[in-house]
Structures are given as C-alpha cells and as structure tokens.
C-alpha cells in the first residue's frame, strides 16, 4: 500500500496514514472492480499479511530514499536492537534529534526561520551544528569532559551503548540551559 504525495515537481510514495481517507476510498473502489478469489482466512492471518506487506513497502522506500543520509551512515537499516529503544521517551527524542540534526540548535533553527542567527549560543562561532555542540564548543569543554567519552565521535556519542546515550542526552539538556557566553 502506497500513498503518492506531490512535493514540488516530484512524487514521493509513502505508507498511508489513518488520516488519508481519499487513499482508502480509492483503494476500496479499485479493489471492488478486481477479480475476487473466494479464499477463507482468519482475521489474524489477514492482519499479519497486511502488516508484513506494509513493513516491506516502508523498508523498501526507506532504502531507496535519499533523505536522512547523515543517519544512514551510522544506521544503514532499521535496527530493532538499537540501544535508543531502551531509553525513556525524553532521552530517545534528544538522541534521535541529535542523530538527524533536527534539534533546536541555532544552525537548524536558522534553516526554519532565517531571522534566527545561526551562531552558537555559547561561543558565537558562525554556525551551531550538532558536531560543534557536541565536540567543539569551547564553552562546553568541562561539561563535555564529564559526560562524553574521552575521544567523542558521532559513533560513540549517538550510537553507543545505553549508558552513553543517556549521558549524551544529559549533556544536551544541560548545555541547552547554559547561558550564552
């Protein structure tokens, strides 16, 4: 099952959402005109088949998409054993946002609202990115020393074990509260 969405001049196929009423109406109309085999099956079996098909379509789309390649370098396919799954919701959100770069650091905020200056709120460097925030900001040196590994990298800070992910999330929370330089 796919839902085509037009974005600009390109069409992108995504799994349908429950809000996509037109998709389901169109699918039902299309299905009603097709040859129907009379094969009995249980509701649970039909549900399992539908879930498998949806997962397969989602995975294939995910593998072919060119978005999120920053995350893809470290996580080339969905990993059900990813340590992020063992974090509480707040920490999961922080780590996922840091992984994707969609976090309220000024570099990202500036992409959304050009009136927000992209400079680091702590040291004033030209762009506050995830890498700068975690590894390079001089005003976060002591906090980094306490919560991040001795040689911090994206791999060991954002894709490491559960304890390190918790520390990285804590680093971000505390760093976001620290006043500007």
Give tens-digit pLDDT for 25-69.
777 788 788 887 788 888 898 888 888 888 888 877 767 776 656
pLDDT at 179 over 70: no
Give tens-digit pLDDT for 123-162.
998 899 999 999 999 999 999 999 999 999 999 999 999 9
pLDDT, the chain, mean: 83
Task: Judge if pTM exceeds 0.85.
Answer: no
Tell me how long the chain is: 181
CA–CA gap between residue 141 and residue 137 (Å, rounded): 7
Give tens-digit pLDDT for 89-103.
999 999 999 998 899
**CA 96 to each of CA 8, 11, 82: distance values in angstroms, whole numbers, following the listed order:** 27, 26, 11
Domains in the chain: boundaries: 3-65, 83-177
Q: From the CB of residue 152, how many other CB atoms can be counted at a distance below 10 Å?
A: 21
């Amino acid at each position: 099952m796919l839902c085509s969405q037009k974005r600009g001049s390109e069409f992108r196929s995504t799994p349908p959402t429950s809000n996509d009423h037109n998709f389901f109406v169109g699918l039902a109309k299309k299905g009603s005109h097709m040859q129907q085999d009379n094969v009995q099956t249980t509701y649970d079996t039909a549900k399992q088949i539908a879930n498998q098909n949806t997962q397969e379509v989602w995975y294939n789309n995910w593998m072919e998409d060119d978005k999120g390649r920053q995350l893809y370098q470290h996580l080339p396919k969905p990993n059900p054993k990813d340590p992020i799954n063992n974090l509480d919701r707040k920490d999961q959100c922080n780590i996922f946002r840091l992984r994707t770069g969609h976090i309220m650091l000024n570099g990202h905020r500036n992409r959304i609202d050009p009136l927000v200056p992209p400079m680091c709120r702590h040291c004033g460097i030209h762009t506050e990115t995830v890498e700068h925030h975690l590894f390079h900001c001089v005003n976060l040196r002591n906090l980094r020393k306490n919560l991040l590994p001795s040689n911090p990298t994206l791999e060991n800070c954002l894709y490491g074990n559960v304890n390190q992910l918790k520390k990285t999330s804590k680093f971000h929370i505390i760093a976001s509260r620290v006043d500007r330089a």
